[in-house]
Amino acid sequence: MTSRRNLPLDGVTVIDLGQVYQGPYATYLMAKAGADVIKVEPLSGEPVRQRNAVSRGSGVPFAMLNGHKRCITLNLKARKGTEILKQLVADADVLLENYAPGVMDKLGVGWSVLHAINPRLVYASGSGYGLSGPDKDNLAMDVTVQAASGLMSVTGFPDGPPVKAGPALVDFLSGIHLYAGVVTALYERTFTGVGRLVEVAMQETVYPTLASNLTFMYDAGTTPPRTGNRHGGLSAAPYNVYPARDGYIAIIGINETHWANLLAAMGRGDLAGDARFSDKVSRVRNLAETDRLISDWTSTLTREEAAAILRRHKVPSAPVRDLIEVTNDRHMHERGMLEWIDHPEFGRIVVPNNPIRFHGAERLPASPSPRLGQHTQEVLAARLRLSEAEIAALCDEGVIGEGA
């Protein structure tokens, strides 16, 4: 019996049919927690891997989300391909997929089939709108779900059109929920001995994030407006992004102590008794004057000068940094969240570690993502006991790729 590594999910086998960002991020978190993640890709590779042909940079997200996984290729449109998947699932703990609802059933490897083969299996399904309901078959991508979920309606400035969030926010938000659902079901299985179907709909993961905006709707009885960088419920001030000599700085004050500290930081203690700013309600009512007061101060300083003063006075704030600055962030590099690696396909790049820290457990160092089909022969030989000749025949038949 092999000794168990000091990693929370060591001994857990995951069959990863995830694609793009949602599914792969969930299984990346599992891999970083110690699970043996076997990534199953079509013979041409999953969509993000295929971006490599467009440009070096467009393929980098694949490297960010697929380290520590073993990659095999498998043609699930071929009968032998689905048979191999069934065999892999027979002694696995988790299967995760984020295809459109019904795709796995059409292939003959949906939840009911795989659960019958392996009752202990946790089957995780990620989709745009869920496995049921009138919208379940709507095509879903991050930006379309941002539109349908209401997220886009409250993003942007009042005099402009709806704006999407800059990052692929919903893909990753739902990927985190998928991870949580899988781990919760694995915990339950320790008591019941039986796995279950876990599903996450992208649209449903967004709604709780709208809490601040919904306060406006319930208070005013109207659709919440787009508020730019101000508070979504227009119920806090200061709460904005203010100009500096070399960019912008975000400043937030949610209580009277923050406001008093900000006045001290700006050298404006004379305004402590000013009725326009005497409490949060007054500052919100006089929002333009509140913001103008702060902007007049920040615009005389650099981002770092303002940030240093605000830190000393314990005012919540942060410079607005660009992605080059963030990629080289000393704090995250020292904590091991970001790591430089020399990737065989992409060169020198930064990849993220697991934001979830398990104190006392091993922390896996960064690892390059695998080549397409890099581990096909290894996995089929070790897990299914297939010979070299059998694997070669599967390649000839188009069931697995030549990269094996």
Catalogue the active-site residues. 171
Query: Is the alpha carbon torsion for 324, 325, 326, 327 positive or negative?
Result: positive
Contact 27, 96 (CB under 8 A): yes
Closest to 329 in 3D by CA, of 352, 346, 312, 307: 352
- Under DSSP, the state recorded for 198 is E
Contact 206, 144 (CB under 8 A): no
Closest to 345 in 3D by CA, of 365, 370, 324: 370
Gap between the Cα atoms of 226 and 44, Å rounded = 42
Contact 23, 98 (CB under 8 A): yes
Q: Which residues, listed in sequence order, are joined to residue 387 by a DSSP beta bridge?
A: none
Q: Which residues, listed in sequence order, are joined to residue 166 by a DSSP beta bridge?
A: none
What amino acid is encoded at 16 in this protein? D
137: left (phi over 0), alpha (psi -120 to 50) or beta: alpha
Contact 114, 95 (CB under 8 A): yes
Contact 133, 119 (CB under 8 A): no
DSSP, residue by residue, 20-77: TTHHHHHHHHHHHTT-EEEEEE-TT--HHHHGGGT-HHHHHHHHHH-TTEEEEE--TT
DSSP, residue by residue, 318-331: EE---HHHHHT-HH
